[in-house]
Structure 1
Amino acid sequence: MAQFMCSQIIVLTWTATLLGLSYSDVYTSSVKIINMVLMEENILNSLHTEVINLRNDTALSVFSKFYHHRIPIVKELQNDVHLQAYLKHPNGIYLSIKQFANEYQNLRSALGSQPSPAVQLHLSSIADERDLVGARLSFIRLQKVYSLNASDMIIGNYLGWSGPELDEIDALKIGEAAFTEGHLDLTIQWMYEALAMTKKSEPPIGVGNFEEPVSATGKILALLGRSYLRQGLHEKASEMYTQATYLDPRDDNVIALKHELVNKPHITEAPITDENLQRLCLLQNKLPNNKFDPRLNCVYRQVILPYYRFKQELISVSPYVALFYDVINDFESQSIINFSQEKLERGYVEFDGKAIKQDFRTSDLSFVKDQELSIIAKLSKRVGAITNLSTLEYVNGDSLSAEPFQVVNYGMGGHYSMHFDPLDAMTLSRSDMIVQSSLGGNRLATFLIYLSDVERGGSTVFTNADIAVSPVKKMALFWYSYKPSGELDLDTLHAGCPVVVGHKWGISNFKYVLLKGYN
Structure 2
Amino acid sequence: MVKMLLLFIVIAAGVGLQAKGLVLSAPESYDFAISSESQLSLLKLKETQVKNLQNYNEVLKTHLKKIKLAIKYSEDLLRTPGHNFLFGLKVLRHIYTDWPQYINNLKKELGSKEILISQDLLMQQPTSVDFEESLGAIYRLQTVYNLDSYDMAEGILDGKDYKVKKWSIDECLILGLMYQYLKHYNESENWLQLALYYYEDHPNREELKTKLWEHSNLLESLVEANKGLGRYLEAKKFAKDLLSILPNHSYMLQQLPKLEYLQANPIKLTKPKKDHQLQKEICSKRYSKANTNLVCRYVDWTPFLQLAPLKMEELSMETHISIFHGFLGKRDIETLKNASRPKLQRNEHLSWNCSCKIGNLSSSSHDIARKINGLIIDITGFPPKGNQMLEVINYGIAGNYNPDDTAKSTTPNKANTLIFLSDAEKGGEIVFPSRQLKVKPRKGSMLVWVNPKGSVIYHQCPILKGNMWVANKVLN
Structure 1, residues 160-205: CA drift from partner, whole Å, max 9, x if none? 1412211112111122222233433221211111111112238999
| Percent of residue pairs identical | 19
2:33 paired residue number: 27
Name the amino acid aligned to 2:321: V
Q: Which residue of 1 aligns with 2:110?
A: none
More helix by share: 2
CA–CA distance in structure 2, aligned partners of residues 252 and 308 of structure 1: 77
Structure 2 counterpart of 1:274, from 251, 274, 277: 277
Q: Give the CA deviation at 1:511.
A: 2.1
Q: After the TM superposition, which residues 42-441 of structure 1 pair with which residues of structure 2 at under 5 Å, given as runs?
A: 68-69=55-56, 110=119, 123-124=123-124, 126-159=125-158, 160-162=160-162, 163-201=164-202, 216-247=214-245, 267-274=270-277, 277-278=279-280, 281=283, 288-289=288-289, 291-292=291-292, 294=293, 296-305=294-303, 306-349=306-349, 357-358=351-352, 360-390=353-383, 392=385, 401-402=386-387, 404-419=389-404, 421=406, 423-424=408-409
* 2:468 aligns with one of 485, 497, 504: 504
Provide the C-alpha distance between the structure 1 equivalents of 2:258 and 2:415, rounded to a whole number of angstroms: 52
The alpha carbon displacement at 1:143 in A equals 1.8
Q: What is the distance in 2 between the residues matched to 1:405 and 1:335?
A: 14
Query: Aligned Cα RMSD in Å?
Result: 4.0
TM-score by length of 2: 0.68
Question: Is contact 2:141-2:147 (8 Å) kept?
Answer: yes
Q: Secondary structure at the match of 1:416?
A: coil
Q: Is the 8 A contact 1:222 1:241 kept in 2?
A: yes
Q: Would you say the 8 A contact 1:222–1:244 is kept in 2? A: yes
Secondary structure of the residue aligned to 2:378 is helix
- For residues 143 and 40 of structure 1, do their structure 2 counterparts lie closer, same or farther at Cα, with a shift above 3 Å needed? closer
Specify every segment of 5 or more residues in structure 2 that has no aligned partner in the other structure, as ranges.
1-27, 60-114
Match of 1:467 in 2: 437
- Cα distance in 1 for partners of 2:273, 2:250 equals 24
Distance across 1 between alignment mates of 2:39 and 2:165: 17
Alignment partners' CA distance in 2, 1:413 and 1:248? 41
| Offset, 1:410 | 1.0
Partner of 1:79: none
- Contact 1:445/1:510 (8 A) holds in 2: yes
Unmatched runs of 5 consecutive residues or more in structure 1: 1-21, 45-62, 73-105, 112-118, 206-210, 350-355, 393-400, 429-440, 513-519
Distance 1:151 1:39, change over 3 A: closer
Structure 2 residue aligned with 1:493: 457
Match of 2:6 in 1: none
Which one has a bigger Cα radius of gyration?
2
C-alpha contact 1:423 1:442 (8 A) present in aligned 2: no
Give 1:348 shift: 3.0
Structure 1 residues 300 and 204, CA gap change in structure 2 (3 angstroms)? closer
Letter of the 1:173 counterpart: I
Query: For the structure 1 residues 170 and 265, does the alpha-carbon distance in structure 2 shift closer, same or farther, using more than 3 Å as the test?
Result: farther
Q: CA deviation at 1:156?
A: 1.1
Does the 8 Å contact 1:215/1:247 carry over to 2? no
Q: 2:325, 2:58 → 1: CA distance?
A: 45
CA contact (8 A) 2:140 2:276 kept: no
Q: C-alpha distance in 2, partners of 1:404/1:147?
A: 37
- In structure 1, give the amino acid aligned to 2:474: F
TM-score by length of 1: 0.63
Aligned residue pairs total 383
Q: Over residues 105-145 of structure 1, what are the superposed CA-to-partner deviations in whole Å (9 max), with x where a residue is unaligned?
A: x879945xxxxxxx99xx54x43443233323322222222
Partner AA of 1:196 in structure 2: Y
AA aligned to 2:227 is: L
